[in-house]
Chain A
Amino acid sequence: NAGVTQTPKFQVLKTGQSMTLQCAQDMNHNSMYWYRQDPGMGLRLIYYSASEGTTDKGEVPNGYNVSRLNKREFSLRLESAAPSQTSVYFCASSTVPGANVLTFGAGSRLTVL
């Protein structure tokens, strides 16, 4: 039972490069989320998808785009990476929108030089 799987686990980018973080869940959850975690800042919501076919901005969406490819997969794209986007990114899923119980992936560590 894999839960939430994120790839890649580590990535180093140069300023201006683009990349996509992939996330897949096998729990048949409706809602999926992308968070970033920075020291002293806690987890901050970037984008979420309440259900297949819908996406909404969270607290810190600037510089990111998302795609809810199907019920299982939710990707996060950085079109032109900036050093301020150096962070650990977590994908999460839950059974209902705004739910209390989130299942998180193991995280993707991104460094932008």
Chain B
Amino acid sequence: QKEVEQDPGPLSVPEGAIVSLNCTYSNSAFQYFMWYRQYSRKGPELLMYTYSSGNKEDGRFTAQVDKSSKYISLFIRDSQPSDSATYLCAMSGDNDMRFGAGTRLTVKP
């Protein structure tokens, strides 16, 4: 079993749709949970991060963490063509940091 599981997609949605991206993990020591966005042929850039369980909102983006289920989500409201990218989940704790394989998202105008 991988440390972090992330559905690779691809995921294609129309502009304005609500997008849900998810990851599961196995290491209960993880305390910090991050989402990175990676445009084609670019380096990943941090989108959001949360500590422990709960929700965090930043504009159209909401990150949710459920540590009891070892499950994290990123929601994108009113998706835009500029949101088309690969989204990587990441988590860290106990001196370890792991990334999901990424979900490729396309938002069609």
Binds A, one of B11-19, B59-67, B73-81, B99-107: B99-107
Most B C-beta atoms less than 10 A away, residue of A40, A92, A101: A101
CB atoms of A42 and B97 under 8 A apart: no
CB atoms of A43 and B92 under 8 A apart: no
Q: Give, as a whole number of angstroms, the nearest-CB distance from A6 to chain B.
A: 8
Residue in contact with A101 in the complex, picked from B4, B49, B101, B102, CB distance below 8 Å: B49
Q: Does A47 contact B (CB under 8 A)?
A: no
Q: Complex Cα distance A103/B44, Å?
A: 8
Q: Mark B79-109, 1 if CB is under 8 A from A, else 0.
A: 0000000001010100111111110000000
Q: Give, as a whole number of angstroms, the nearest-CB distance from B9 to chain A.
A: 12
Q: Complex Cα distance A97/B95, Å?
A: 8
Which residues on the A side are within 8 Å of B32 (C-beta)? 100
CB atoms of B96 and A40 under 8 A apart: no
CB atoms of B101 and A41 under 8 A apart: yes
Which residues on the B side are within 8 Å of A106 (C-beta)? 42-43
Which residues on the A side are within 8 Å of B100 (C-beta)? 42
Q: Does A98 contact B (CB under 8 A)?
A: yes
Which residues on the A side are within 8 Å of B99 (C-beta)? 42-44
Q: Given contacts A41-B101, A42-B88, A42-B101, are A98 and B43 in contact (CB under 8 A)? A: no
Which residues on the B side are within 8 Å of A45 (C-beta)? 97
Q: Mark A29-56, 1 if CB is under 8 A from B, else 0.
A: 0000000000011111100000000000
Q: Which 9 A-B pairs have the closest CB atoms?
A: A104-B43, A100-B32, A42-B101, A43-B99, A42-B99, A98-B95, A106-B43, A104-B44, A100-B49
Which residues of B does A touch, CB under 8 Å? Answer: 4, 6, 8, 32, 34, 41-46, 49, 88, 90, 92, 95-102
